A and B are shown apart, each in its own frame.
Chain A
Amino acid sequence: MATLLEADNVVFSYDKKGPKVMDGMCIKIEEGKKTAVMGCNGAGKSTLFSILNALREPDKGKVLFRGKPLTYKHKDIIKMRSDVSILFQNPNDMMFKPYVEQDVAFGPENLKLPKDEVETRVQESLFAVGMEDFRKTPIMKLSYGQRKRVTLAGVLAMRPSVIIMDEPTAGLDPQMAYEVMEIAEQLHSSGTTVIMASHDTDLTYSWADELRVLYGGKCMYAGEPEPFYADYESVQKAGLLLPTVYLTNKTLADLGRGTLEPYPRAQSQMALKTAQHKDVNLGVLHVIKADRDTDVNAIIEDYDLGGLSKGVYGMSARIAARAGSTPIDFKYNGPENCTMKCLDGKDSVLICDPIMFDKAVSSAMFINDHGFGKINIDVV
């Protein structure tokens, strides 16, 4: 894949006498890959992000977008900030307007888009974050989690090619954290390059294709997560810990219970890999690929799926399920919840956005492909 965004030997300090926060930073972000950026507090993650979207100019070195170095001319900077959007950790840092709809419209209006295009984007972005009922609400009245969603809507409304999410789940309860992860997956499925900084090793391990580890203003590791975690000394130096699933999988492999590879990334994968009885009857995972105008209820009725637990995953599936007021048991973390039902020997129904199908069945496929069990996937 092509390199989309690159920092080449970047040096940066906040004041001339102060320490170098970036000290020869070389980092490449591949187009379309899910990249996790990790590192201890103060490793330079937030500074790197502000350099990558031209909020700050490096003292030395350069930033390249699609192979072209940034010039830091006004026009270039504006273009760069619409191509590369940052969702900051603290939503209060990026609220510009008193009312929700104004705040979300702020970015697109700045891009000088036609009015009805702005309106469409505001509507869709607010729906994507579950805040469509709060359009006219003053920002002041929103809770922290709600503000976080509004700022995410503001970023979505820009339709950037790269989204950088800085600690997107910090301070959110598990339910909201899963909603944010689903949006990240949706963006990835629709071709956006998503970069995520997080301290949650378990979360990033289950999500990322690629790992970048920052230390002392440099990138100390770039590649898939497993080789990095295999080097405990580096993990420790970077201020990190091993993901639980990685550590337990490795220990069991060392003890001769199963092999090291394939690496499970999710709980259900780890559980099935570890269980010794692979011949137990698992449930069927019925998947309804739902576009926005799919009549979900009719499908459920036709295939007699009414009595089963149902999960929903992805934007078009949510729109379709809402239009038909389909009763949903798992409104968040749908794929993993439905897969766990199957592990329990029960059938389940996952209503999913067609572009997110691969991710939706990834745990079930992992289990099937490696002979850890058999979950029949029935695409309705």
Chain B
Amino acid sequence: MRAAPSDLPLVLDGVSIAVGGTTILDRLNLTIMPGAPTLIVGPNGSGKTSLLRLCMGLAAPSKGTVSWGGRTHLPQTRRAIVFQKPVMLRRSAAANVAYGLAQAGCPRALRARRTEELLDRVGLLALASRPARRLSGGEQQRLALARALAREPEILLLDEPTASLDPAATRFVEEIILAAAQSGTKIVMASHDLGQVRRLAGDVLFLVRGHVCERADAADFLDRPATPEAAAFVQGELVI
């Protein structure tokens, strides 16, 4: 696909999001560098989804700036996002992936082959002609992943992709994500599951009530949390 300037480093500078009277993100300063996956954790309502949408460029900050590789306001050709509940087009699984490929600028002649490759990568080749909306939750999640990977993104954002999956499906998805990370895609992923953090994370972003409470390497965060909230969280307590 076309060569485009890099979206990394992704820099948030003094970013706040306020909706109505509620502050969802509060004066965040953050830099995301290429490398191992960054996992975002925190209690519900801490602003993980809003942060992901901001990084994708789907939401604009009420204050502060977001820049990708030094630029603001650009088309998101090198970024992709997988929502917690992905929306499937009313077409076959293959058609969904082909749609993603078409939007990413893949030439028509190559689309069929790349669709096959992507479906194979996420283990859905056998279900290629099944109507996408009839797939199971786990299958739809993998299809959304395939659709996102069709863009050959530099940054892949994921919002708790395995939250409603059984362990087998979870493992499958984690393997795909790890493979993508190993081939150079920067993974930024919200997660609920501390075990997942241990398995996947390079570094961890711990959000509490719209603040970055702590940021550390995965091992440090899990075994030697620096802040009391992080300690409580890692112990499994509710962090209010």
**A and B assemble together:** no
